[in-house]
Structure 1
Amino acid sequence: MHKDENELAPWKLVAGLTVFAILTAFGFGYFGYYLSLLLKGLFSAAESVTLNKGAFYCLGAAIIGCMLLYFGVRKLQGKTVSTIQNRRASLIFFIGLGIAVVLPQLIHYPTASYLQAQGYSECALQSRQWLHDKVMVFTVTPEHCIELARADCEEAPVRQKCRLLPQFSTSKTGTD
């Protein structure tokens, strides 16, 4: 039997699958944690509610990771991929991609509208964004927002948001 020169050695395939398995498990865990945090905040009328759009991106990526793991294990077992399995893989890929692209927006806007209608406002001191990944913290009162920021700044006063709070500001007032 002729071995394809582009084919990975079994140990490399196992190593790659292990990395994919870890990333996929992390994606599901990250999603589950932030979904439970969101639901807990929504249903318990908490003083603050956290919505992490990145967790919903991770869900889509984890679904795609499951598909890749499935086919990686089949490759390791030496099994071929049928046309039907290939179609299903394409469907799973597009579902995962759709979840990663659409679900964060579908969750963000209705949740933010609902929370604002309930009297919450977004706490800019606690919210953060990096590219499309956005973590929004909604609080019942502006005072609670400041309390949360103060608590974070007491733990790590070098954070950028801490410069916005007078007691943690390192800038000098007046002349030297």
Structure 2
Amino acid sequence: MTEVSESQLRVAFDGDAVLFSDESERIFKTHGLDRFFEHEKENEDRLLDHGPLKGFLEALGKLQKKFYAKGQRLDCPIRTYLVTARSAASSGIRALKTLRAWGLEIDEALFLAGAPKGPMLEKIRPHIYFDDQMFHVEGAAEMGTIAAHVPYGIAQKYNSQHKMSTGK
């Protein structure tokens, strides 16, 4: 188990199908990466719909703001992370614009451009990480991070196939 902070609650979220709807993930799964990038560019100024954990991030944000109001932003005992397979230069813009429009702040947004999430989670050491894909949940767990599966959207079809093929 990876050691976690005893003085700061660290919560990490995947983006698509966790904080945001699975709209973009559906494009990727059904039409591939090139069409996904085209879709994100075409819709860069259209906000993503909310996903199942948007409300939880909102609640954490309200708690954080109580510390910010006291001038303790840097010492806030809650830190939030977006850990996404999106790339910052292309598909990440839409995610950031959506968060900004919702009035939500993420302390750190990590755009991994398809790289495995486990090594980054090992570095930031969140107390919990939320993802809709079992592959990423299992990868995080292998690196010692407690990870929770968010059963939502198109990933369910792929999670079921993964479970049948691996027995997990």
**TM-score for the superposition, normalised by structure 2:** 0.28
- Which structure's relative contact order is higher, taking Cα pairs within 8 Å and 6+ residues apart? 2
Structure number with larger C-alpha Rg: 1
- TM-score, normalised by the number of residues in structure 1: 0.27
